[in-house]
Every structure is written in structure tokens, then in C-alpha cells.
Chains A and B, each alone.
Chain A
Amino acid sequence: MNQFLAASSRAFQWSSAVASSRAARRAPRGGIPTVIVLVAGAIIVLNYGLLYTGSVFVLSACYAIVTAGMAVQIGFSQQIAFSQSVFFGVGAYGVAMLNTHYNISVLPAGVIMVVAAGLVALLLGSVVTRASGLALAVATLMLPLIAVGYVSGTGFLGGPVGAPLNGTLWPGSGSTTLIALGGGLIVVVLLAAVVFIASRILSSDIGLELFVLGVDERTAASLGVRTPRRKLELFVLGCVCAALGGVAYAGTQQFVPETVIDPTTELALLIMLFIGGRRSVIGAVIGALVIQYLQGASNWVSVNILIVEGLLLTVVLLVDPEGLSGIVATGIAWLRGKSALAVAGAELAAAGTPAGTADAGREAPDELAGLPLSSVGPAGALADGTLGISAVGISAVGDGRQAEGTAGARDTALLEVRGVFKEYGGLSVLHDVSLALPGRGLFALCGPNGAGKTTLLNVIGVSVAPSSGEIVFAGADITRRAPHERFYLGISRTFQAVHLIKGRTVLDNVAVACLASHTASIVTRIGRSRLDAARAKAARTLADLDMAHLADREVSSLTLEMQRMVELARALAPGPRLLLLDEPASGLSEEQRQRLATLLATLAERTCVLLVEHDLALVAQVSERIFVLSGGHLVFDGGPADFRASPVVNSLLVGS
């Protein structure tokens, strides 16, 4: 019972990546939703195929093929592109034209059109996906508007009337029954295939990349995700699914009305996606079914379909922004919690509760507040004691890329900043800053608030281009390299304000930095996933930092200091050659600071660590060389003894 619930909960949850659940190993990735679609679809087609219900089902399955792709592109990865109705039209009209004008039967015509749509999407996508966020949405919003104007004026396509087909999806001839049932079954198989592919992509290591991309494009890039490529792949995937849906539509309906390419089709598809649950593939399928059934129902509902859709969407989103699938997943998680308690007591419940039950986290603040810090959250032990870092294990942390950087790195500079200037709108933030760091050791960057410390880190670590000057890393000029390339070179950083990925576990947050999927294509992830390898590497890092017990916690349920530690773990996990830490000690107690100091000293034996820090005592204690920025100028550069004695430093930072 529990395992079934666990599995179905995963099927509904966008993140099947949730807990390291035992059931995960038994069921193949994407298997459960695919089997559900295949079996349920076949039963419905075979039983009701000749009835009105059956024809509504087949129609909704055509739309579901599109929405399943949208769940990956729009819901999960948050790349809002309004290109679906157009490519749906390309598939549908293409098949109709090839069928009636060139006498190609529907199935091969469909294959041709899907391939053609993929190529067109590749071309179009390489232009439009250069835009992000709203620009992408608004630019692609023009596509349906352009398309509808074109189609309605083009007689070849049937103009406002539409285009009929001679053939059907079912190849060969036969009785009407055979054609109807066969066509229906083909659509179900196509849908199952799309669901399978989509689920497997989302549960793979690239799925994790896509999730980060959806949360924040810049964070994703700084963690090595090649955002331009992923965005293009997503666009093509969405368009190919849409074209496939269009082919299925034309082949089963045997007529393509002009309305398929209308913006209202786009709106209808979006409504299906959001009612079903934007991040869930199976939810998107359910959304398509629900809306089509409501439209097909021959009663008050279908007459007033707009009112019903409007009310339904409002209510569903108010209850749960993740739509019906979110509601179902919460329900199942709740059921599981209940039955697990009954069966095996609280132990099982604690271990099996997925991170996706963010509801538990959402309820928490009111209970927490007012309680002493040391009893935050269910795993109360964390709060103060968890910074128990075992410096012993750290030497195991950086393997991989690390090795080549360590040999004889003392003498040659790993990082050189040469005469960097940075201006924001006429305001000079960095003024002729030059510094060089060797391959190992601990270095600190100090200065009053607003002195340009974080800007300097951004210039080195993320792609903030300096106004002039250059950054040389390991002999290569990286001044204008993209953030993901800097990540590959071995530059890792933490942020002053924590940039973790909400809604994911600690383990996944660290695993993001351990992915080896950056050069791979989305398509390869239908076959295999290296997510487990990345998670294993992440788990090792967490274990080294004594944080293994946190692995399955959802990150936003942690205290700020623990979130900082997770971010540090994420920066350490890939074994960087240069580690940029932005105020790692802020918010930590004296004792925790001391443990951090020990950890940093251990790290510095293998890696170059550049630390931005306000705690001068900590800085003077751990670092071998200290740089002080003031008003964008580098005003001090020396060892801790000089640092303590320097009048400049004293007047600027200590204030005596």
C-alpha cells in the first residue's frame, strides 16, 4: 500500500527526485506515469472508442501530447514561449496538405511534418531563445498572431474554412470500427511515448539542471548550466511535441479548422497545463482530459465553458499553484503520512516524507517563532551543534579537476586580476584593482560596506564584464568568458545572500554542482541518467561536512546558517581550484566561526580560497594575505601582521 502511494505520489510530484525512496530503485524512471497512460488509454479507447466519450478522449489525448511537452518547457523550466498553437497548426496543416495535395498517407506525412517542425523550431529557436523571461514570452506571443493572419488569408490552406484530409492515422483500410479504434490506439501510444520521454528527462540529471534554470537563469549559469543550449533544446522539444499533437489531431479528426492556429488554442492549452499542474507531466495530461471533457459534456457546463474554466482555474490556483496534480500529491503525501504512522510509526513517516511536502514547511513559521533558536524544526538538534565540521574528511572532498591544479601551484599565479575598472552608470565601483593569487592558500578581501568587494567577486566569478582590465585564470584570459565556462575551469563561489534552489532537498542542491551532464544533450537523458552519480558525490561532500543527516531536508526549512553551510558544500562539492566565499561567517556564532576557520585552513592546503569577510579577527587569524578595498581602490595588500599594524586598515575598518 505504502509503496503504491509512494510511487503514485512521485508520479504526481514534479520532482520525482524527492527522497531517496526505496521504491525509486524498483520502478524504472518514468515507468509509472507511462504505464498509467498506456493502460488507462487503451481501456478507454477499446471500450468507448466508437462512442462520443471515446472521441472526446482521443481529442483530449491529442492536446495532452502538447501539454506534456509544455510541462517540461513552460512549467518545469519556466521558459514561457507561446509557440505551441503555431506548431500544432504546422503539424496539422502540414499533414493535411501532404495528404490531400501530394497523396502521402497520414502516418508518413506525420513523420515528415514532425521532423520538419523540429528543423523549423531549431531555426526559429536559435533566434528567439536568445531572449529570456518576459522578452521571450512577448516575442513568441507574436507567433500565433502572425500565423493566424497568414492562414486566414491563404487559399491554399483553405483560408477561414479549414483543410480536410482524405486519409486517417490508421494505415491501410478497414472497417470504420478498425479505423476509429486503431487511430485512437496510435494516439494513446504517441501520448505514452511523450509522457515517457518527458518524465525521464525531468527525473534525470538534466532535469535537475532544468529546474535550476527555471528558478534562476543566472544561478544556473554560475553552476555550469549552459543556459543558451538548454533553452534552445527546450524550445525545440516543446515545438516537436506540439507538432506531434497537431499530426494526431489531423489524423483522427480528418479535418483541420482554422481555429487550431488561433491564439485561443494557445490559451486553451495553457489553461489545461495550469489546471493540471504546470510542473507535472501527468498533471498536464490530466488537465487536458479535464478541460476537453468539460467542453465535450453536452449540458450546462459545455454551454458555459468559459465561466466554468475561469472559476475552475481560479479555485485550483488559489488552493495550490501547482494545480490538480499538486493537490493530489499533497493528498497522497497526507495519506502516506497517515498510513505510515499506522503501520510502522513515526520513523517511516520521517524518512519517507518527500521534500515536496513544502506545506509542512509553510506551516512552520508560526509555530517556530518565539521558540528558542535551538529547537527550530523537527530535527531540533541542528540549530547550534550542526556546524560540527570534521576537518578530517575534507581532504577527500576535492577530487577530479582538483588534481592538476595542485602540483607546484605555489609559485605561479592561479588567478591574476590586472588593472580592473568597473563603472555602473557613471559611478566608479572598482578603480584600477590588480592582484594575483597562487594555487593554494587562504586570502581575504576586506573593506567597508559598498567598497566594491562583491563587485570584484562578480567580476572574477560570474560574468560581470569589467569596464576595462583583464582577469587571467590558470594562464587563460577569462575576462569575457560565460559563467558556465568559468565553472568548468574550476571557479566556484558562494553568495552573500543565499542562492539556494527552493523546493529541492539539500542533497539535490549540492548535487547541482556535481552534474556531469553539461555537455550532454537532453535527448541522451531519455536513455540514462547520471543523477545518482551526482547525488552520490554530493552525499560524500555532505558526509565530509558532517551534514549527511540533512540530505533529505528541503532547503527552505533550514535556518540561515545551515543554508550558508549548504551553499558552502555546494561550492566545495565539484572540487574547485578557486573558491570565492562571500561573507561565509556572517550570522555564525563565535564557536561556529572557529570551526569554520579550521575548515577553511584545511581547504587552503589544496585550493585557493578568496574570502570576503567583515570579521577582522577571523580574517587576521586565518588568511595569509589580506587585500583591503575602499571606494573601489585597493588600499592595502599584505600579511596579517601588517594588517593589524596598518594605520590605513585601522582608520578604515577598526575605527580607533
Chain B
Amino acid sequence: MKFGNLLIAGITTGSIYAMFAVCVSVWYRVSNILNLAVGDFAMVGALGVDNLYRVKGLPLPVAVVTTLVVVAVFAYVYDQVVLRIAQDGRRPIEGIVVTFFFTFALSFFIDGAAKVLFGTDVHAAPTLWSGPALTLGSLNFERAGLLVLACAIIIGGAFWLYIRFTLGGKALEASGENSTGARIVGIDTRQYRRLIFVGTAVIAAVFGIVESPITGFTYLSGATISLTGFLAAAYGGFRKPGRALVAGLFIGVLEAMLGGYVSTQYGDTVLYAILAAAILAWPRALGFESAVSG
């Protein structure tokens, strides 16, 4: 059952990519900024919990809550200080390219701070659900992987319910689809920019915490996570969270299959080559043409 196990592994990593891709595209819809710092929040989540629990000796729940609160406060302050000046000031900065570099700088800053706070070694948050892998026939389910999947389903489901059944959620959708139209009914798009930025930072931190036992994180791991989420979001045209989700899952499965059947060493190389070829072959179908802008 090699295929089955590869599929499980692929779906697990794919669900992580998918969540980050959804975070990137939901925020891009309301802010027009591509966030390259999501992965860094994940890294801070994992290493923060590890530091508070293992080094500082706090109880695990306290460590988790403290880390999430710190991430949320930091994201809020960043939005209030930097993004407010950049987007709402007298000279709003336009253009995807320049605003993209703000999150780029943020990513560098977080990585640097993490290096000072947590050091350069590989660490991981403690496993929240330890024990041997569960088996079903010849299929193996790692507990950490199941936890990741559960988080993805719970958070994704909660988000879906919010969009589907509350006026606030519909207003969020509206401001993503048509910000002028949203302002007409009094929706404060800046408020959603802030809410989603803080929200995605916390969600990213949660995923960092549950995922880190599988791979282990260093202070530089954020960039890799962001990059994959970013790529998956790109295949959803950055504006379609649903497609970003599918693309994330697909990339995860494809990665696992290539690693399992083609080559462990060059699996990633082949994966990226396929992804690049797909963009060049069908840019319009993948939603790139509409997102073009200076």
C-alpha cells in the first residue's frame, strides 16, 4: 500500500499548504498585499511554544496561549503602525510590487528576532497527541498528521461557517470581491484588513505548533512554508481561496508522489519544473492574467 501511504502523507502536507494558501489569498482579497510573512508566524508559533514550555518551563496550555496572544498583538501593532502609514496615509503606496516588499521586510524582521530569541537549532513544539502511529490495514496514520488534518478541517470549517452564516462573513466576502461596492454599504475594508491579518497570523501560528513535531523548525523555516503557500495561492490567482485550497492539496499530493515514485533526491526539482510549465502553458486558465499589475 505504498500509494495509500503516500496519498495520506501528501494530503497531510497538502492540507498545510492549502491552509497557508487560503491565508494568503483571503488577505490579498481584502488588502491587495501578498503576504510573504505567514510562514514566519508559523515558525514563531512552533519555536515560541517550544521555548516557553521546554526552556522556561511553563505548562503547555499556558505556553500555547501566551504564544498565540503575542503573535496576535504583534500582528495588530504591525498593522496599526506600518500598514496604516503605507496604505491609509496621505500618500498611499500602490502597486503589488512595493507593498509586497513590506511583508518581505516583515519576514526578515521576524526571522531575525526569532534567531535572537530561539537560537539557530532545530526545535519543535511538543507533540500534543503522542503515541504510536494508528494503523488501518496496511495504512499508517501518524498522530501528528491526523492532528494537522483535524486542525485544517476545524479551522477551515469554522471559516466556511463564518462566511456562510454571518453578516460579518458575507461583508468580508463582499470586501474581497468589490471593495468599492463594500464601502457603499458601509463596510470598513480597513477593519477587515486588520482582522484578517491578525487572524491569519494566529492561524498560521496554530499550524506551526501542530506541524512542527513532524518536520522540526529553525528560525529560517518560515520562508519555505510561506513560499509553498504563496505558490499554491498563485495557482488560485491569489483571489480565489477555494482554488488555492485545491491547489495546495494537489501540490502536497504531487510532491509526495514524485518523492515516492520518481526520485527522493530530485523530486522537488521535478515538482517545481511541472509547476512552472503549468503557469507558462495556461496563464489565463490559472488566473494569472487578471492579477497582472505593476
State the A residues within 8 Å of B (CB): 78, 80, 127-128, 130-135, 138-143, 145-146, 149-150, 153, 214-217, 263-264, 267, 270-271, 274, 278, 304-314, 317-318, 321, 362
Contact = CB atoms under 8 A, between A and B. Distances in A.
Contacts of A263: 223, 227
Contacts of B292: 132-135, 217
A127 B294 contact: no
27 contacts: A78-B294, A127-B280, A131-B280, A131-B283, A131-B288, A132-B283, A133-B291, A133-B294, A134-B238, A135-B279, A141-B231, A153-B265, A216-B294, A217-B292, A263-B227, A264-B223, A267-B104, A306-B113, A307-B108, A307-B113, A307-B116, A309-B105, A310-B110, A310-B112, A313-B104, A313-B108, A314-B105
A57 B163 CA distance: 54
Contacts of B279: 131, 135, 138-139
Interface stretch (B5-13, B44-52, B89-97, B177-185): B89-97
A317 B115 CA distance: 24
A486 to B, nearest CB: 21
B294 to A, nearest CB: 5
A310 B105 contact: yes
B200 to A, nearest CB: 19
Contacts of B116: 304, 307
B79 to A, nearest CB: 13
A154 to B, nearest CB: 10
Contact of B106 (A134, A215, A312, A314): A314
B283 to A, nearest CB: 4
B289 interface: yes
B272 A309 contact: no
A215 B293 CA distance: 9
A309 to B, nearest CB: 5
A146 B272 contact: yes
A271 B108 CA distance: 10
Interface string B142-175: 0000000000000000000000000000000000
* Highest count of chain B CB atoms <10 Å: which of A215, A267, A321: A321
A257 to B, nearest CB: 16
The binding surface of chain A is classed by DSSP as helix
Contact of A304 (B82, B98, B112, B234): B112
For B227, B291, B294, the residue with the greatest tally of chain A CB atoms inside 10 Å of its CB is: B294
Contacts of B104: 267, 270-271, 313
Given A142-B273, A146-B269, A270-B104, 9 more contacts: A78-B97, A133-B292, A138-B288, A271-B108, A304-B112, A309-B105, A314-B106, A317-B102, A362-B90
Contacts of B294: 78, 133, 214-216
A542 to B, nearest CB: 27
Ranked 9 nearest A-B pairs via Cβ? A306-B112, A310-B109, A133-B292, A307-B112, A310-B108, A135-B288, A313-B105, A149-B269, A142-B276
Contacts of B268: 145, 149
B266 interface: yes
A306 B91 contact: no
B288 A311 contact: no
Contacts of B70: none
Contact of A138 (B91, B95, B96, B231): B231
Nearest to A319: B85
B107 interface: yes
Interface residues of B, number: 47
A349 to B, nearest CB: 23
**Which of B109, B265, B293 is packed against the most chain A CB atoms within 10 Å?**
B109
Contacts of B95: 321
B74 interface: no
Given A149-B269, A153-B266, A307-B116, A139 B238 contact: no
Nearest to A306: B112
B262 to A, nearest CB: 12
Contacts of B107: 310
B211 interface: no
Contacts of B105: 271, 309-314, 317
Contact of A134 (B86, B90, B108, B288): B288
A552 to B, nearest CB: 23
A150 B280 CA distance: 21
B275 to A, nearest CB: 6
Interface string B99-125: 001101111111111011000000000
A318 B86 contact: yes
A311 B72 CA distance: 20
A139 B280 contact: yes
Contact of A314 (B82, B91, B96, B288): B82
A138 B108 contact: no
B197 to A, nearest CB: 15
Q: Which of A139, A307, A314 has the most CB of B within 10 A?
A: A314
A330 to B, nearest CB: 12
Nearest to B284: A135
Contact of B112 (A133, A267, A308): A308
A181 B82 CA distance: 44
B280 A318 contact: no
Contacts of A141: 227, 231
A305 B291 contact: no
A324 to B, nearest CB: 14
A532 to B, nearest CB: 28
Contacts of A145: 227, 268-269, 272
Given A134-B96, A274-B101, A321-B93, A310 B266 contact: no
Given A313-B104, A314-B105, A142 B112 contact: no
A146 B108 contact: no
Nearest to B116: A304
B248 to A, nearest CB: 15
A309 B113 CA distance: 12
B212 to A, nearest CB: 20
Contact of B102 (A130, A149, A314): A314
B281 to A, nearest CB: 10
Interface string B251-293: 0000000000000011011001101100110010010110111
A132 B291 CA distance: 10
B88 to A, nearest CB: 12
A149 B109 contact: no
Contacts of B280: 127-128, 130-131, 135, 139
Contact of B272 (A134, A142, A271, A307): A142
A367 to B, nearest CB: 13
A150 B269 CA distance: 7
A200 to B, nearest CB: 24
B82 A318 contact: yes
A241 B108 CA distance: 26
A220 B265 CA distance: 44
Contacts of B85: 318
A209 B242 CA distance: 39
A642 to B, nearest CB: 42
A309 B108 contact: yes
Contacts of A274: 98, 101
A217 B289 CA distance: 12
A304 to B, nearest CB: 5
Contact of B101 (A139, A146, A214, A317): A317
A307 to B, nearest CB: 3
B234 A134 contact: yes
B291 A314 contact: no
A317 B104 CA distance: 12
A555 to B, nearest CB: 16
A175 to B, nearest CB: 39
A362 B288 contact: no
Nearest to B238: A134
Interface string B213-245: 000000000010001000100100010000000
